[in-house]
Amino acid sequence: MSEEQAPVTEVAVEAEFEGLEVDAPRVGIVMGSKSDMPAMEAAAKELEERGIRHEVRVMSAHREPDTVADYAKNAQLRGLRVIIAGAGLSAALPGVVAAHTPLPVIGVPLTSSKSVAGGLDALLSIAQMPPGVPVACVGVDNARNAAVLAARILDS
Ligand code: RP5
């Protein structure tokens, strides 16, 4: 069937997948600051060892809100299946990402130089999402567990 004869819906779907690379990353790892990189590298390492394609980006929900919204809105269309989001302090990043995508989001509460109560600030910010907008939450600074959970989601 030529493109002219194809139903509108089929053409639309083909157009949507046209730019999708076969080796597109399946997991997006995002974090609120470059200072989060040492802790979040554990997630990338775990995915690397499991042969799971991923990408790593730094973007702050508070400092670059439009960048975060654009990333989350485009994530599914780009082929991502899970997003891991790490942040410290008033850790809005996982929740803001979840607000803009239907993909599962795994939050990693991080400690930083200004953390209070050993990262409890970030832990509560990530876990205490309002009903209807879930974010999975792993332990403080436990980015590796986020990657293991992402792998389980991809396998299910
Ligand atoms: C959060 O603020 C980041 O995720 C980071 O954990 C914390 C401190 O950021 P920097 O001041 O080091 O950039 O948004």
> Once rounded to an integer, what is the mean pLDDT over residues 117-127?
97
- Measure 35 CA to ligand 1 centroid, in angstroms: 6
- Measure 89 CA to ligand 1 centroid, in angstroms: 7
pLDDT tens for each residue of 58-116: 999 999 999 999 999 999 999 999 999 999 999 999 999 999 999 999 999 999 999 99
* pLDDT-derived band at 1, boundaries 50, 70, 90: very low
For the sheet containing 136-137, what is the strand order?
54-58, 27-31, 82-88, 105-110, 136-137
- The DSSP element (H or E) to which 85 belongs, if any, is strand 82-88
- Measure 50 CA to ligand 1 centroid, in angstroms: 28
pLDDT at 13: 61
Atom of ligand 1 nearest to the CA of 63: 14
